[in-house]
Amino acid sequence: MKLHSLASLAALAVLTATPAMAQSPGHENAPISLESGNWRMTFGGFARTVLTVGNISHSSDDIQFGSEPGPSDYIGFANLNARLNFDVSYRDIVSARISLDGAGGIDTINGSTDGAIQLKDAYMDFDIVPAFQIRAGQFKPPIDFENLTSETKSDFIERSVVSTGMTVPIEKTEEDPESISLRGISPARELGIQFDSDLLDFGSVGFRYAAAVTSGSGTETGPIDTRAALYAHLELALMNALYDGIKPGHFFSIGVSAAYRHGKFKFPSSATIVGGVSDVLANYSYYQNITTITGELHANYSGLHIDVEAFWNKISNEENEHSDIAGISSVPDDESAYGIVAQISYMLPFEYFRFQFGYRYALIVPDTDNGVDQHTVSVAYFVENYPVSVRFDYTVNVEANVGFDNDFAMLMAQFVW
C-alpha cells in the first residue's frame, strides 16, 4: 500500500471525470491505493460539516410562513456529509467507481438528527481510444457545469439557485401562502450509457464531446418519473498562446449542452390542483417534457477562474389517459425560464497563504416574472500540505416582484482523503 503523487491523482481525476466538467481550484491529496500487476484499486473521499445561520436579514414587513425560500430562522449544523469512493482500474483501459454518501443534519437548538446513506456513482468506464470512450451505469448526465463540478473542487459551499431551484412566495399573507417553484436545471444521477472523448488537441484548438441516453431516476427539483432522457455536450478549447506571456495550454473554453427529458409528473397526495381542488390524488399525473439548452464559458489562468453559464428551460405538459381525476381534465400551463450564473475566484499565489476569494451571481426568471437574483461571496483557506480547507459563504437572495430578501451564512470545514 502506498500514497501516489499528486500527479497520479490528477491523472486519475481526468480519467474518471465527466468531459463537461470545468475544474475549479482546490486542495488535493493522494488517495490510498493498492496495485497488483495491471490492476489498481484506490480508496478516497471526503468529509465536510457546514454550520448554517439562516434569515440573517429580511424585510421587516414580511410575514414568515412555510414557503419562504432559503433556510428558516435557525443556527445549526444543517449539512453534514461524508463520501467514500472506491475505484478499480485495469491498465487504465477499464475502470469502475462505486460512491457512497452519508448525509445528515444536526439541529443545535433541539438536538434532533436525521441521516441516510445513498448510492451516488456506480458506473464503469471503457477508455477505448481518446476520441471514443464509454461510460455505463449510474452517473451525472453531461449538463450544468455546477452540478458536474465535484463538491471538493467547487469554489462555493452550495450550488446556485440555477442548479438547485427554489420555492418563492408570491403572496405575503399567512392565510394564503401561495408560492411558485423555480425549477433548477441540474438533473439527479441517472442510469444509462454515455459516449464521450478526452480533450482532443488539434493544434490551436481542442475539442471534446459527450452524449448520453438514460432511463432517468427523477430530478432533484420535482417529482417527475423520467422515462427517457437525452443529453449532448460539445466543447471547444484554446490550446496555444494568444500572446506572449501565456503558456500553451487549456486556459479558455466555450461549450453548449442540450437535454430532453420525457416523463410523468406525479402530484403528492396532499397537493392542491389547479382550480383549488384538493384531495387524495396520488394517481393524478400528466406527461411532462423538459427541454434545456445551456451555453458555457470557462477561463483559467494563474489562479484566476471565471465560469459563466446561460440557460433556457422549457417545460411542456400534456394529459395522459388518467388525467381526468375528480372532475379535473386539464393540466398546468407550459412553463419556461431563463437565467445565468457567473462566478469568479482568485487564489493568492503565496506559500502558506492559500486564500481564495470568490463571487457568484445567479439569476433565474420564469415566465411569471417571479424570479430570483442570488449573490454569494466566498472566502476559503487551504491548509498547506494538508488535505484540510475552511470556507465561509454569505448569500443574499432577492426575489423579484415580491419585495422579499433573505440572507444566510455558511461556514464549512472539509477534509479530503
Tell me the per-residue pLDDT of 27-44, one tens digit each, with 9 for 90 and over. 345 578 889 989 999 999
Q: Report yes or no: 317 and 286 within 8 Å, Cβ to Cβ.
A: yes
> Residue 76 contacts by C-beta under 8 Å, 6 or more apart in sequence?
51, 52, 105, 106, 107, 108, 109
> Per residue in 141-150, pLDDT tens?
999 999 999 8
Other C-beta atoms lying within 10 Å of the C-beta of residue 307: 21
Instruction: Average the pLDDT over 61-68 and give the result.
Output: 37
pLDDT value of position 67 = 34
Interval 218-241 mean pLDDT: 73
- The DSSP element (H or E) to which 10 belongs, if any, is helix 6-16
Q: What pLDDT does residue 141 have?
A: 94
What's the predicted TM-score (pTM) here?
Answer: 0.80
Cell of 93: 483501459
Residue 414 has what pLDDT?
93
Q: Is the pLDDT of residue 105 over 80?
A: no
Percent of the chain with pLDDT over 70: 65
Tell me if the domain spanning 2-416 has CATH number 2.40.160.10: yes
Domain locations in the chain as residue ranges: 2-416
Average pLDDT, the chain: 76
The pLDDT > 90 percentage for the chain reads 38
C-alpha span between 129 and 93 (Å, rounded): 9
pLDDT band (50, 70, 90) for residue 373: confident
How far is it, in rounded angstroms, from Cα 99 to Cα 329?
43
> Looking at this protein, which amino acid is placed at residue 392?
F
